[in-house]
Amino acid sequence: MSWGARTYVMAIVNVTPDSFSGDGLTNARDAIEHAITHYRLGADLLDIGGESTRPGHRQIDDRVEIERIVPVIQAVRERLAQAPISV
Q: Cα dihedral sign for 62, 20, 36, 43?
A: negative
pLDDT at residue 12 tops 80? yes
Q: Is 73 helix (H, G, I), strand (E, B) or coil?
A: helix
Assess contact for 9 and 1: CB atoms under 8 A.
no
Where residue 8 falls among pLDDT bands split at 50, 70, 90?
Answer: very high
pTM over 0.85: no
Report the C-alpha gap between 67 and 54 in whole angstroms: 20
Contact 72, 31 (CB under 8 A): yes
